[in-house]
């Protein structure tokens, strides 16, 4: 994931008459460091010490916790994310869809084209490089739930079908409901940009007490481990890319040095607020990503990719609800832990950060426009990327005698570079992939550091530099500790286990948002937001 949020892209709460918002944080103040800060940093340091001093015990506990969480509550990831998706679709088509995220007189800050471009910038992330080939080719070699024979044309279509599921509507439903709730609470109700403030309709003043503090601590931990997972994946990808290009050893020493370098870059960016530089880097990464796709279509099997796209999309649409509710009653738990449960947990862990970014850029948009844009555009971008690169890798193995699947089974992080090796200018394209990983992570971790600092500074929009530095360092140190303790499996296990409580928070905020929206609509009897929109449009003609 990546974004333009940065330290200067604040959410500015609206303050309508009669707002029930609590006291807004001072924009120029330092931000009070309360119990959320001390609790969050204290437990984070305990986790790091645990990973360093009692590595074997940490692995044993997280593995046992993973088994218990997924066996007992794995189905909740499926049910909650599907329920949220259905809720958003119904909301978009309801009269409430015409309500604006802000005052009724507010209009979007950005044009639709610019807003969509920013959504695409938000979606571009390390996952595109880490899993753009690795997931489809892995499913091609080991089809999900035994739905096809390995290494067959049917397995190819199933591989993309499940990649679409893991990276599509369910992920963006989580982000959309978070962004919608935050945008409504800050822009329309004038509340602070804290996760606890989203529960005012359910909890009232109790959001300012222990319950609210607990919610905010859970938000901090979820965001922290989502970021460390991405940082760890980025280090593994960069290590493999640098190894293939320059012979850099692929080992823990190289990975620790890479994490240190990335941490220094994104922390410096967060502290100095180099927003113009981040903005230009993000624009560059978007252009490079589009050019990358175009290049692969030119040198790769474009006709095969187009046909595979069509067939896989058909399977995805046909089997959508079956996939959405397919649990592990009759086996398949290990596969779900590696893929679907891990992916859904990862999306949950990024909910607060991406939601704040989406809220920041969406003031003045209607609920309907927000939902349709956030659900459709990023999903389509991911589908296209996975089909172009994953489909190309499948074609190499299926028709050209390649062994990308075998290399991926040995090391997931070799998949993307192994695919590029089969086409012209492999050195150049590998270098571009490495550059994309760096830009993707720095531009997102910069924003994540800001969000962590804001959430632990009572919602202050200008957190102390010392707090920004501290969260940058904690993120890097945690990633190193988890990488050394358990590698990729350690990262996956941790993000699944730590995201479960926050899944409950997300379900709760959806209920809270729905309750507030219903109350606001009921308070305006005889009004029809859709009719009002039409009358305003007619008046403007």
Is the CB of residue 66 less than 8 Å from the CB of residue 493? Answer: yes
pLDDT tens digit string along 427-462?
A: 999 999 998 888 887 877 777 888 898 889 888 878
The residue among 138 and 526 whose pLDDT is bigger is 138
Band the pLDDT of 7: cuts 50, 70, 90: very low
d(CA 77, CA 499): 10
Nearest to 134 by CA among 416, 382, 346, 492: 416
Report yes or no: 157 and 316 within 8 Å, Cβ to Cβ: no
pLDDT of residue 85: 97
Give pLDDT, residue 143.
Answer: 96
* Residue 419 in tokens: 């695919």
CA distance 2 to 121: 6
* pLDDT tens digits along 79-124: 999 999 999 999 999 999 999 998 888 898 888 887 887 777 666 6
pLDDT tops 60 at residue 508: yes
Structure tokens at 479: 């990633």
pLDDT above 50 for 376: yes
Sorting pLDDT into bands at 50, 70 and 90, what band is 21?
very low
Q: Tokens 């918002």 appear where? A: 21
Sort 102 into a burial class: Cβ within 10 Å, 0-12 / 13-18 / 19+.
buried
Residue 427: the pLDDT is 93
Decide: residue 345, CB within 10 A, 0-12 exposed, 13-18 middle, 19+ buried: buried
pLDDT at 17: 33
Query: Mean pLDDT over residues 505-532, rounded?
Result: 79
Distance from C-alpha of 396 to C-alpha of 55, rounded to nearest angstrom: 40
**Distance between CA atoms of residues 473 and 451, nearest Å:** 14
Among 197-201, 297-301, 350-354, 507-511, whose mean pLDDT is lowest?
350-354
Whether 239 shows a pLDDT value over 60: the answer reads yes
Where does the pLDDT of residue 51 fall: very low under 50, low under 70, confident under 90, or very high at 90 and above?
confident
Q: What average pLDDT score do residues 513-525 get?
A: 84
pLDDT of residue 249: 92
Q: For residue 206, give the DSSP letter.
A: G
* pLDDT of 365 above 50: yes
CATH code of domain 35-524: 1.20.1740
pLDDT at 126: 75
**pLDDT given for residue 235 in this prediction:** 87
* Length of the chain (residues): 541
- Helix (H/G/I), strand (E/B), else coil: 263: helix
What's the Rg (C-alpha) of the chain?
A: 23
pLDDT at 13 over 80: no
Whether the predicted pLDDT of 529 surpasses 70: no
Write the DSSP string, 84-113: HHHHHHHHHHSGGGG-BSS-TT---SS-HH
Count CB atoms within 10 A of the CB of residue 438: 21
Contact of 124 with 2, CB cutoff 8 Å? yes
Question: What separation, in Å, do the N-terminal and C-terminal C-alpha atoms of the chain show?
Answer: 40
Residue 489 pLDDT greater than 80, yes or no: no
- Nearest Cα neighbor of 413 from 394, 396, 430, 395 is 430
């Amino acid at each position: 994931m990546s974004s333009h949020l940065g330290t200067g892209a604040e959410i500015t709460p609206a303050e309508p008459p009669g707002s029930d918002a609590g006291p807004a944080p001072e924009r120029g103040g330092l931000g009070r460091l309360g119990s959320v800060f001390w609790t969050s940093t204290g437990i984070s340091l305990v986790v790091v010490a645990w990973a360093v001093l009692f590595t074997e015990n940490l692995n044993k506990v997280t593995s046992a916790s993973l088994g218990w969480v997924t066996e007992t509550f794995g189905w909740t990831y499926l049910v909650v994310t599907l329920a949220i998706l259905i809720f958003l679709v119904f909301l978009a088509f309801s009269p409430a869809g015409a309500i604006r995220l802000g005052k009724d007189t507010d209009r979007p800050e950005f044009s639709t084209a610019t807003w969509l471009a920013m959504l695409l910038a938000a979606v571009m992330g390390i996952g595109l490089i880490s899993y753009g080939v690795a997931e489809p080719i892995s499913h091609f070699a080991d089809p999900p739930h035994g739905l096809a024979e390995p290494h067959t044309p049917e397995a190819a279509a199933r591989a993309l079908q499940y990649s679409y599921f893991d990276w599509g509507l369910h992920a963006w439903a989580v982000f959309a409901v978070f962004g919608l709730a935050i945008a409504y609470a800050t822009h329309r109700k004038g509340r602070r940009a804290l996760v606890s403030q989203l529960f005012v309709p359910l909890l009232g003043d109790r959001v300012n007490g222990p319950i609210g503090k607990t919610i905010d601590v859970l938000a901090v931990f979820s965001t922290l481990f989502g970021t460390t997972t991405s940082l760890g994946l980025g280090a593994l990808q960069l290590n493999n890319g640098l190894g293939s290009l320059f012979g850099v050893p692929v080992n823990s020493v190289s990975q620790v040095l890479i994490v240190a370098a990335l941490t220094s870059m994104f922390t410096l960016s967060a502290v100095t607020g180099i927003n113009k530089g981040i903005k230009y880097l993000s624009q560059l990464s978007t252009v490079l990503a589009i050019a990358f796709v175009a290049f692969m279509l030119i040198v790769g099997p474009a006709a095969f990719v187009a046909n595979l796209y069509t067939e896989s999309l058909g399977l995805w649409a046909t089997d959508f609800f079956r996939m959405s509710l397919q649990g592990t009653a009759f086996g398949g738990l290990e596969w779900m832990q590696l893929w679907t449960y891990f992916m859904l947990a990862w999306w949950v862990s990024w909910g607060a950060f991406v939601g704040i970014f989406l809220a920041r850029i969406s003031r003045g948009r209607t609920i309907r426009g927000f939902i349709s844009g956030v659900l459709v555009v990023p999903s389509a971008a991911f589908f296209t990327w996975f089909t172009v690169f994953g489909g190309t890798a499948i074609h190499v193995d299926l028709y050209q005698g390649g062994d990308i699947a075998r290399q991926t089974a040995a090391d997931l992080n070799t998949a993307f570079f192994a695919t590029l090796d089969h086409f012209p200018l492999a050195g150049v394209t590998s270098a571009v992939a490495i550059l994309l990983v760096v830009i993707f992570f720095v531009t997102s971790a910069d924003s994540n550091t800001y969000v962590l600092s804001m959430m632990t500074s009572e919602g202050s929009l200008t957190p102390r530099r010392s707090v920004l530095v501290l969260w940058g360092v904690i993120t890097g140190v945690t990633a190193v500790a988890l990488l050394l303790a358990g590698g990729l499996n350690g990262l996956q296990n941790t993000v699944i286990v730590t995201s479960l409580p926050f899944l409950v928070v997300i379900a709760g905020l959806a209920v809270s948002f729905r309750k507030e929206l219903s109350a606001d609509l009921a308070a305006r009897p005889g009004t029809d937001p859709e009719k009002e929109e039409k009358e305003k449009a007619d008046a403007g003609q």
